[in-house]
Amino acid sequence: MDAVSADTVVLALNSGSSSLKYGLYRVDDAPVLLVGGTIETTDDHGRFFDAIETALRGWPAPTAIGHRIVHGGPHRDAHCRIDEAVMADLEAACAFAPLHGPASLALVRAAGARYPGLVQVACFDTAFHAGMPDIARTLPIPGAYREGGVRRYGFHGLSCESIVRRLGDAMPARLVIAHLGNGASVTAVRDGRSIDTSMGLTPSGGVMMATRTGDIDPGVLLYLLRERGQDIDTLSTMVDHRSGMAGVSGLSGDMRILRGASTGDAALAVRMFERSVCKQIAAMIASLQGAAMVVLTGGIGENDVLTGRAVRQGLAWIPGLDIRTVGSQEDAQIAHHTAALA
C-alpha cells in the first residue's frame, strides 16, 4: 500500500444502478469507516449531499473524495485523479455504460460544487480487468471495430479487489468471484489477477440480472429491429431495464420480492438466475483450468441463503470446490485508492 498521511479522511461515493452509497473513512495503514449509509437513487444531488452532510456532522471533514466509476472507456484503465482531461474521457465512455456513466458524471460535478478545492479521484470498476489476456478481452468481431475500443472490459473490479484483499493468504491460486446483486458478474482470478470475466463491453452482458438480459442471442435484437419495428431507444430500455428477472417474472427484479411471490413466473425467474450463475461460474473454472474456491458476494450473494444453496447444489459435481460467502468492501477500496492518489 502506498504511504498516506494519517489525517487523510476520504468521502467514498459509490454510485450504483439502484442506490448511492457513501462512507467517510480515515485512512492510515488501512481504511477505517467512520460513518456511512445508503440513499436510494435520485437525480437530486443537492438532497443527496444535504443528507450526507447531516450524517457527517461531528465527524472530521473530508480531505478528498473518491468515486466509483463503472466504465473508464478505452483510455482510462487505472485509478486516477479527476481533471478536465479525465472528465472528457468519462463523457466519451458514457456510450459504453449509459445506465451508469451520466449519473456518475453528474455526481462528480455536484461533489465539486459542494466541496470546491478538494481532490476528486476516479476509481474504475474496469481497472482490475485491464490486464486480461487477449483471449479474454478480444470480442469475435472485425478488427476495425476492435480498434475503436470495442472489447471486453469487465466490471465489479472494486468488489473483486476487496475480496482478494480480504482473503489475503487464504486466497488460492485459482479463484472464482461471483458478485451477485442488482448487477451480477463472475470473474476468474489467477494469482490475484483477473484473467476472464462474464461482463463484456458493457455491464449488460454475462449473468442474467435483476433487470438486465445478461448474455442473449444477438439475433433476438436483430429480429426485434427488423420484424417488430423496434427502435434503438426501445431496445436499450428492454435490455437494461425491462428484462432479466423483472422481465421473466412480470413482477420485479428484487430477489426479496420474488422469493415471497407465489407465481410460477417468479419462481422461473429465480431458477433462471440461479442456473445462469452456475453456468458462468463453470465457464470461469474452465478458463482457470480448475478452481479451488468460489466466493459469493454482493447483495444477493451475501444475503440470500437460497441462492447460495442453489449454487452449491448446481456445482456439487465439482469435487473439493470450496464455496463460501465473503462480504464485498467496494467503498473501502475506493477510500484506499483515493488516499494513495490524493
* Residues 74-107: tens digit of each pLDDT: 999 999 999 999 999 999 999 888 878 998 999 9
CA distance 19 to 230: 30
Mean pLDDT computed over every residue of the chain:
94
- Same domain? 320 vs 175: yes
Predicted TM-score of the model (pTM): 0.94
Asked if 196 contacts 232 with a C-beta cutoff of 8 angstroms, the reply is: no
Q: How confident is the model at residue 229 (pLDDT cuts 50, 70, 90)?
A: very high
What is the count of structural domains for the chain?
2
pLDDT score of 5: 47
336 or 47: whose pLDDT is higher?
336
Tell me how many degrees the CA angle 313-314-315 measures, rounded to the nearest 5: 90
Final residue belonging to a domain, choices 86, 121, 150: 150
Cα 146 to Cα 8, 170, 181, 339: the distances in Å are 41, 38, 30, 35
| Helical segments of the chain, H only | 45-56, 84-93, 101-114, 134-137, 143-146, 157-167, 218-227, 232-241, 244-249, 255-260, 264-288, 298-303, 305-314, 330-341
- Asked if residue 100 is part of any domain, the answer here is yes
- Same domain? 118 vs 225: no
77 or 252: whose pLDDT is higher?
252
- Same domain? 145 vs 199: no
Q: What's phi and psi for 222, nearest 5 deg?
A: -65, -40
- Same domain? 126 vs 93: yes
Domain of 315? 169-325
CATH number at residue 199: 3.30.420.40
- Same domain? 194 vs 320: yes
CB count within 10 Å of CB 134 equals 7
- Asked if residue 2 is part of any domain, the answer here is no
Asked if 82 contacts 105 with a C-beta cutoff of 8 angstroms, the reply is: no
Q: Region 142-158: what's the mean pLDDT?
A: 95
pLDDT score of 105: 92
Q: Which run of H or E residues covers position 61?
A: none
Cβ within 8 Å of residue 306, ≥6 positions away: 259
- Asked if residue 246 is part of any domain, the answer here is yes
pLDDT score of 180: 98
Final residue belonging to a domain, choices 92, 117, 150: 150
Q: Region 50-71: what's the mean pLDDT?
A: 95
Final residue belonging to a domain, choices 119, 150, 181: 150
pLDDT of 47 over the 90 cut: no
Residue burial 101-124, b: 16+ Cβ < 10 Å; e: rest: bebbbebbebbeebbeebbbbbbb
- Asked if residue 162 is part of any domain, the answer here is no
pLDDT score of 55: 93
Distance of CA 322 to the CA centre of its chain: 23
- Asked if residue 341 is part of any domain, the answer here is no
- Asked if residue 156 is part of any domain, the answer here is no
- Asked if residue 35 is part of any domain, the answer here is yes
> How many helices (H) and strands (E) in the chain?
14, 11
Active site residue: 125, 196, 304, 331, which one? 125
> In the annotation, is 125 catalytic?
yes
Q: Region 297-308: what's the mean pLDDT?
A: 98
pLDDT score of 4: 43
Q: Region 244-272: what's the mean pLDDT?
A: 98
3-state class of 151 per DSSP?
coil
CA distance 246 to 225: 22
- Asked if residue 155 is part of any domain, the answer here is no
- What percentage of the chain reaches a pLDDT higher than 70? 96
- Same domain? 146 vs 192: no
- Same domain? 58 vs 18: yes
pLDDT tens for 151-191 read 999 999 999 999 999 999 999 999 999 999 999 999 999 99
- Same domain? 185 vs 131: no
Q: How confident is the model at residue 328 (pLDDT cuts 50, 70, 90)?
A: very high
- Same domain? 114 vs 216: no
Q: Which residue do the cell numbers 459469493 mark?
A: 296
Find the helix packing angle between 330-341 and 157-167, rounded to 10°: 90
- Same domain? 174 vs 314: yes
- Same domain? 179 vs 316: yes
CA distance 126 to 147: 18
- Same domain? 174 vs 321: yes
7 or 232: whose pLDDT is higher?
232
